[in-house]
Structures are given as C-alpha cells and as structure tokens.
Structure 1
C-alpha cells in the first residue's frame, strides 16, 4: 500500500500510520484488571444428553465490564439441537444457580446425575419440557418419573466466525 493511502486510511480510522502497519501497537490497550479468566469445565450436549465432565479443561479470558454477578463457568456446546443461536463448538457461559425462569436456557443434569444437556426450560403444571431451538429435535420431558436438576443459567455464548 502506498504511503499516501496509508496516511489517509489511518486518518479515517483515527490511528497512527505505524499502528495501522502493526509497527506501533499500544502497550496496554486494555487494562489488565478489565480481563477475567473463567474456567471451561468440559462439554455439554445440545442434542441427546452425554456424560458430564466437570474438570477444568482450559480458561477463557473475557472482559469484566458487563459480566453478570455470580459463580460463572463455561461449557463447550456439542451438537446441533440449539442451533442457530448456540452453534456446535461454541462456548456457553453459565451462572451457577439451581433454577431459571420459564423460557430461559439452562444446563440441566438428567438421567440420575450422570448426564448434562443444554436446553430451553418450559415449565408446565407438573412437567418441565427441555426444549431445543432447532425444530428437528424433540423436547426432553422431565417429571417425577424422570427427574432432573438445573445447574446453571446460560448468560452468554462465544464462538468464532
């Protein structure tokens, strides 16, 4: 790119020409205190329930500016039942809590505390439906014969484009 075009472009986007070329990167564009590390505790299925694995597999760094309060963790989504909102492979941030409002998305332990799934919770009289966002998948029915336990509310989704 020619020097005059670099100068014009840097003027338009309001950074120095050296910064535009990657030669003068600000030392601290984001204060360190504004980033938080949140653990990824494994995978959660978006389809048929799978075995849970609550070991920290990695940490994700996120900005602290608008995080919800509470005990936060990530689970990586596996499956297609929550697409397009929650794609396969995306990271879902959850706030640990034992209940959610009707219509909210939650991580739910099912099948005798051995499996976890991510679904929209629809509360009916004496039944709870765990609904998918993808209409190709059927809901999962929770009742006294098929109990479940909510472990957290989905508060954010991160994925690569």
Structure 2
C-alpha cells in the first residue's frame, strides 16, 4: 500500500513530533521496543513516527504521553494550540561546533529543531557537535546542543560555547575560574584533551548550554 502524501505543514509537524519523542526517550532511558511494548503500538508504527514516515494520530500521542508520564505538549509541539503552528518551539540549527580542538560555528541556518518544553525558557539556537571532548557530560559526536545566547557564563563550571582568539573557532567546554586569578579555564570532559587556560580577552562566550539530544540515524 502506498504511503499517504503529506503536506509541508504535516511534514514539519511529523519532524517536530519525532525529534521531541527521541529526546524524551533518551531522557527516560527507553528504547523504541520499550515504547512499543508499553503503548501496545507495533514496533513498525513507532519506527515510522520516529523516522518521520507517518504522522502520529492524536490517540497514539496520548497513549505515548501516558506511558512516558509526560505532558502531551512534550511530544506534540502544537498541543496547546487549536491550530497547527509549525513555529512552536522551533529553534534554528546554525551548523557545527567542535567538542574537541575547535571548529567553525557557521552562522547559517541549516535546519530547525524543536525544543519540547513550552513552559521553560527557550534556547536561542542549536548547534551540531563534532568531536568527543565532552563525552563525560554525555555529549557525543553528532549530538544537537541547545544554546542560550549570552556573552558570559551564569555560574562557575557551566558548559559554554566559546570562540577562541576571535578566529571563529567554536568549541563546547566547561568554564571555570578561581577567585583572585584573571585566568579562565575551558575544560573538556575527556582526558584525551587538554584544558585551555586563557585570559578573558583571548576568547568570547557566545552562549551557554541548555541541554542536548541525539538525532536518529539516517
């Protein structure tokens, strides 16, 4: 049987539901099989939802939300609206940032991702991670990180997106400082990489980390 042809609006909604659902599954530590068994939906139906092949029905979304013990709005980005609004919680993906020795963070929107928590403060943009220097924080190569735009960390030890030496070489690191010292440390979460110790004038913070998710494999 041929698959239904979806409109552009429906395809955007499918993408938002799939991204939100993957994020919740990672947060809950559950697999596709766990979700299928818990909701009594077939594994092929769950796979189609996660791979943006089928638009989830309202009844299926409710069953999924009930099983995962989350609000329906964490799965369906249009739940709080009476009409479809594909811009709800839509965050621009601005390219890549290195969780390693540095990589250009291109200020070009390559796609949009969804942030599933409507009641929380929204991130300003997202970046794709390339490298493994933050694996100790659970951030791996290919992950998408949510970033709030700001020029300084909110607290000592926060994970930040930083540009070193004004060369547009972006990196994701944990920033720490010591009272009485001018030097700042950009610290990896992987022993293979060295900590960078810099003065404030030698780097720029372009945002702070607000969470991440692991995209489904193509």
Distance 2:89 2:204 in 1: 28
Q: Secondary structure at the match of 2:115?
A: strand
Match of 1:78 among 118, 127, 130: 130
Match of 1:139 among 195, 199, 213: 195
Aligned residues: 143
| Inter-CA distance 155–28: structure 2 relative to 1 (3 Å threshold) | same
Cα contact 2:166–2:204 (8 A) shared by 1: no
Bigger mean CA deviation after superposition, 47-56 or 32-41 = 32-41
Higher-helix-fraction structure: 2
Structure 2 residue 118 is the aligned partner of structure 1 residue 62: no
Structure 2 residue 174 is the aligned partner of structure 1 residue 120: yes
Query: Could you list the runs of 5+ residues in structure 2 that have no partner in the other structure?
Result: 1-36, 46-55, 62-75, 81-87
Cα contact 2:77–2:116 (8 A) shared by 1: no
TM-score when normalising by structure 1: 0.77
RMSD in angstroms over aligned alpha carbons?
2.6
Distance 1:39 1:60 in 2: 6
Higher-strand-fraction structure: 1
Larger RCO (CA within 8 A; separation ≥ 6)? 1
Larger-Rg structure: 1
1:135 deviation in Å? 1.4
Distance 1:39 1:64 in 2: 16
Structure 2 residue 145 is the aligned partner of structure 1 residue 92: yes
